[in-house]
Amino acid sequence: MLKKSLKYAAISPALLATLCTDTTLASGDGSDEPGFVPPPEENKLPPPPPRSISSAETLAACCCCPVSAMSRTEAKKPPRPPVMFTKIKTDRLEDWAATPNDVNNLLKSMKDMINANYVMEIKSLAEISPDPEQNPILYRSGHYRFSFTPEERAKLRKFMLDGGMMIFNTGLGSKPFYDSAKQELETIFPEVHLQRLSSDHPIFHSYYDVDRVRYRSGVGKGYFSYQGNEPWFDGITINCRTVAVISRWCMAVGWEDTENDSYQAYHSEDAKKLGINLFSYAVAMRAWAKSEAGKMKFIDADTKTGDKLYLGQVIYDGEWKTRHAGLSVLLQTFNQKTDIPVKYGLTELRLADEKIFNTPLLYITGHEDFRLKKEEAARLRQYVLNGGFLLAEACCGRKGFDLAFRNQIQAIFPEYPLKRIPENNPIFNIPNRITQLGVTAALSAQIGSPAIKPELEGIEIDGHYGVVYSRFGLAGGWEMTPSPYAFGYDGPGSIQLGQNIVMYAVTQ
């Protein structure tokens, strides 16, 4: 039996080769590229660190005798608050220090606004520990084009996968920096899709609700003007935790309370709220990742005999893989529950692949908005009408995926409405009789109840459901580790409902 951990600790040789291949960027620092914005004119160098003196001794001033150490008589200073943010410095001072007091001012605002007392450090990447316990949030701000070395990428990858979070702030909206940050994250995580976070992402609701923000007028007048009012963060999300974000528009001048409406930046109040939300999200998700790390293991049943059931996970252009062991765990519990001699296999394929017609069950999930290509939508319609079964889930109950899926499925099956499946349908009765299911803490707080009646929607074709959809999260429960921000069924509820869906798919 082969035990597999869900931890991303092991990196395949192919991936190592990718990480160790230096990124090719345009020559120069980007200052001559379209969309470059120089550092603000009121640029000041960061203040020197405070002079430190040991609490055990002081210096006695005397004109007639040599200086000697004397014991302090005053009370000892309280312990230093823990480090939360580490600002990354580089050789180019006018770049990373263009807003020298950004993080310090954010920390002051955090103390005033939410009574959170933390400090920051300034370090180079070489000085930073890959252990998130030492520096939980890394912050990199700048205006110019940049690149990391292969060694730096490997260190940052380990840091983020072990629970740390990285924040890139695009100085005054400067496009070369923004493009560089995107390219670096895509190089560090070639297996994950970098995409814009929708306004329902927990980052925008972790403390304040900031799914709508106020921008300064410069955002609508720059090289890449933006007329919306939603915050713009791009992110890398792994196992329902966003490990890195890029702010397309500048937060730093807002943290510094710099008043200049021509800047491509958020208004100061909204910038501070976004900063506090980033802190709140990072702390909650790091604690969750730490407590759940290594809990989920599963066994490939390679030695079993019998019919093989394939679950095919749909690959699409977007964040198509949200959890990495949920399907395997579900199938294992299904075997245990039903004693059906099914040897399972998991495959990942695009809808344009002819192999989908040899796969009796397809599974599609995600957090964010997505669009199927025309040929993919046509192939999915053909697959379902030919008797195939599609299970869809809005992972963590996210509205971005929910809205996108509803729009797509209505366009694919205009003659078959997506409607709620009746409670007396076999899908709620075999092999588990389900009348109520427990829900996650976040959903419970929203609805005011720890349990709800099971809810599934489906498209019924010729008397059976060819599409079954859950707007509440399932996969986190299959792994028994739903995120603290998930709106979904709890672990036992998710597994029971998942077992019933699989039973329905293989018996109808």
The predicted model scores a pTM of 0.84
Tell me the residue ranges of DSSP E strands in 357-480. Answer: 361-366, 389-394, 419-420, 437-438, 451-452, 457-461, 464-470
- 378 and 286 share one domain: no
Which of 274, 292, 310 is the last residue before a domain boundary? 292
Query: Which of 340, 367, 351, 341 is CA-nearest to residue 312?
Result: 351
Domain count for the chain, please give it.
2
In a domain, 54, yes or no: no
In a domain, 327, yes or no: yes
Burial of residue 152 (number of CB atoms within 10 Å: 0-12, 13-18, 19+): middle
Which of 235, 258, 292 is the last residue before a domain boundary? 292
Long-range contacts of 284-291 (CB under 8 A, 24+ apart): 284/206, 284/484, 284/485, 285/163, 285/165, 285/241, 285/242, 285/483, 285/484, 285/485, 286/132, 286/136, 286/163, 286/164, 286/165, 288/241, 288/481, 288/483, 288/484, 289/163, 289/241, 290/163
- 91 and 204 share one domain: yes
What CATH code is carried by the domain that includes residue 117?
3.40.50.12140
- 126 and 177 share one domain: yes
Tokens of 305: 């005999």
Helix then strand then coil, % of the chain, to nearest 5: 35, 20, 45
pLDDT, tens digit only, all 508 positions of the chain = 333 333 444 444 444 444 443 333 445 899 999 999 999 986 555 554 443 333 233 333 334 334 344 444 555 666 788 999 999 999 999 999 999 999 999 999 999 999 999 999 999 999 999 999 999 999 999 999 999 999 999 999 999 999 999 999 999 999 999 999 999 999 999 999 999 999 999 999 999 999 999 999 999 987 888 999 999 999 999 999 999 999 999 999 999 999 899 999 999 999 999 999 999 999 999 888 876 654 444 333 343 434 556 789 999 999 999 988 888 788 778 877 887 665 666 789 999 999 999 888 999 999 999 999 999 999 999 999 999 999 999 999 999 999 999 999 999 999 999 999 999 999 999 999 999 999 999 999 999 999 999 999 999 999 999 999 999 999 999 998 899 999 999 999 999 999 999 999 988 7
Tell me which residue range forms the domain holding 380.
298-507
In a domain, 310, yes or no: yes
